[in-house]
Each structure stands twice: as structure tokens, then as C-alpha cells.
């Protein structure tokens, strides 16, 4: 007995799941690869089960099991591929340019202000985030390394100065959205963050 109609329905169910926004955004460059992988996987399984005569009551259970296994397998591939693309993207848009010498946090803050005045918002956000990172390093709360992620910096802050966790989380979120996510910065939010850092540094006697 052929189970091709059953596999066709399962394929449609799986495509519906994998075509939702959270999956399709994982790789614009590889648009359509999910459907191709799905075609190959389900057709391979269908060919195997076409040779097996299953009782009617067992067919539904087998079908559901195969769909679940297929989903898990494809999610693993999607996760691995999206991680690889994300790392590649971040490498191309590294926080520090090659050979860039780390300066004082006040230097980065001044440049962030100047860049904002000329509406170079992405670079302004980068310099503002650098000002925060360099300040944290000057206080010995983190150690800046090219390979570290913001989550790793967060762990260092949690161990060394927990009071700065929320400040760092807000600034890191905005930085990721603008620098890596290509979103547009809200001018009001930018200046709010500038004022927040200046206030912190004034209170600790480290501004200017």
C-alpha cells in the first residue's frame, strides 16, 4: 500500500511550520533551501515506507513520528546554519576595526556625540558602546577581547560589578539592533543613553 498521499499532507504541515517568520529569517541568502531539504527528506522516507505494508491503525502513528523527527532534524540544521551566518556577519562587521588602538572612554564618547551631530547614527552608536566597554575595562570589571560576545561581557559584569548589569544590557541591546540588525536608531533613545552614561561618570568622578 502506498503512503504517498499521507507524506504529501505531512510535507505541507511541515512546510507551514518552517515557513513562519522565525525560521525564514534565519538565512535570506539561502532562501528556498529549507523546502529543498524538506523535499529530499520526505521523499526519501516515502520511498522507504512505500516498500512497507503498514496496518491502517499504525500508519497515523508512524506518520506523526516521522514528522516530529523531521522537524527536529531540520531545526538542528537551521540552528547550525543560522549560527554560522550570524558569526560570519559579525566577523564582517567587527566592533573594532583591524589595528584599531583602544583609547579612553571619554574619547569615544566625544566622537559619538560628533558623529550624531552629522547624523552618522550607526557609527555614533558603535562609538557610544565602545565608550561603555572601555569604561568598564578601565574599572577592571571586564577585559575587552575581539572574540568575546556581549553575553560573556555580561557574565564578567555580573561577577565583578552587578550594579552595571542593567545599564550594559540596555546599551548592548541597542548596539546589536543598530550595528548588526541594521535597524534605525531612535534619536531620542540615543541621546538618552548618552546622558545616562555621562550621569554615571559624573557621579563617579570619571567624566571629562
Which tens digits make up the pLDDT trace of 4-18? 555 555 555 555 555
Number of structural domains (the chain) is: 2
pLDDT at position 49 over 80: no
State phi, psi for 53 to the nearest 5 degrees: -90, 100
Last residue of a domain, one of 71, 92, 113: 92
| Domain carrying residue 57 | 4-92
Structural domain includes residue 100: no
**Average pLDDT estimate for 92-96:** 56
Whether residues 86 and 126 share a domain: the answer is: no
pLDDT of 143 reads 93
User: Which of 91-100, 111-120, 122-131, 157-166 is the least confident region?
Assistant: 91-100
Last residue of a domain, one of 42, 59, 92: 92
113 or 37, which is more confident?
A: 113
Whether residues 151 and 197 share a domain: the answer is: yes
Residue 19: CB atoms within 10 Å: 12
Greatest mean pLDDT range, 34-38, 95-99, 189-193:
189-193
pLDDT of 195 reads 94
The secondary structure of the chain as a DSSP string is ---HHHHHHHHHHHHHHHTSHHHHTT-STTTTHHHHHHHHHHHHHHHHHHTS---HHHHHHHHHHHHHHHHHHHHHHHHHHHHHHHHHHHHHT-SSPTTPPP--HHHHHHHHHHHHHTT-HHHHHHHHHHHHHHHHHHTTS----TT--HHHHHHHHHHH-GGGHHHHHHHHHHHIIIIIT-PPPPHHHHHHHHHHHHHHHHHTT---
**Average pLDDT estimate for 43-68:** 59
pLDDT of 29 reads 47
pLDDT of 89 reads 46
State pLDDT tens for residues 144-154: 988 888 999 99
Last residue of a domain, one of 92, 122, 151: 92
Whether residues 86 and 127 share a domain: the answer is: no
**Average pLDDT estimate for 33-59:** 60
**Average pLDDT estimate for 20-46:** 57
3-state secondary structure of 193: helix
Note whether 112 and 194 are within 8 A (CB): yes
Structural domain includes residue 97: no
pLDDT at position 207 over 50: no
Q: Report residue 169's pLDDT band, with 50, 70 and 90 as the boundaries.
A: very high
Whether residues 65 and 115 share a domain: the answer is: no
55 or 26, which is more confident?
A: 55
pLDDT of 198 reads 92
> Which pTM value belongs to this model?
0.56
Structural domain includes residue 53: yes
> Over the chain, what is the mean pLDDT?
74
User: Helices 105-117 and 121-138 sit at what angle, rounded to 10 degrees?
Assistant: 170
pLDDT of 74 reads 66
pLDDT of 181 reads 79
Whether residues 118 and 199 share a domain: the answer is: yes
Amino acid at each position: 500500500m502506498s503512503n504517498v498521499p499521507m507524506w504529501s499532507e505531512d510535507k505541507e504541515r511541515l512546510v507551514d511550520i518552517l515557513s513562519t517568520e522565525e525560521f525564514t529569517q534565519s538565512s535570506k541568502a539561502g532562501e528556498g533551501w529549507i523546502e529543498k531539504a524538506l523535499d529530499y527528506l520526505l521523499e526519501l522516507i516515502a520511498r522507504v515506507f512505500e516498500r512497507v505494508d503498514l496496518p491502517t491503525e499504525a500508519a497515523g502513528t508512524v506518520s506523526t513520528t516521522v514528522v516530529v523527527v523531521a522537524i527536529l532534524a531540520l531545526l538542528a540544521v537551521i540552528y547550525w546554519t543560522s549560527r554560522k551566518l550570524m558569526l560570519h556577519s559579525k566577523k564582517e562587521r567587527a566592533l573594532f576595526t583591524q589595528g584599531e588602538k583602544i583609547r579612553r572612554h571619554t574619547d569615544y564618547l566625544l566622537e559619538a556625540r560628533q558623529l550624531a551631530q552629522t547624523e552618522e547614527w550607526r557609527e555614533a552608536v558603535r562609538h557610544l558602546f565602545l565608550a561603555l566597554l572601555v569604561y568598564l575595562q578601565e574599572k577592571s570589571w571586564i577585559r575587552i577581547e575581539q572574540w568575546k560576545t556581549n553575553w560573556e561581557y555580561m557574565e564578567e559584569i555580573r561577577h565583578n560589578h552587578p550594579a552595571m548589569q542593567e545599564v550594559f544590557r540596555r546599551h548592548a541591546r541597542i548596539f546589536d539592533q543598530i550595528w548588526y540588525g541594521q535597524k534605525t536608531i531612535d534619536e531620542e533613545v540615543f541621546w538618552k543613553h548618552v546622558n545616562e552614561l555621562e550621569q554615571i561618570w559624573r557621579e563617579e568622578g570619571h567624566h571629562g
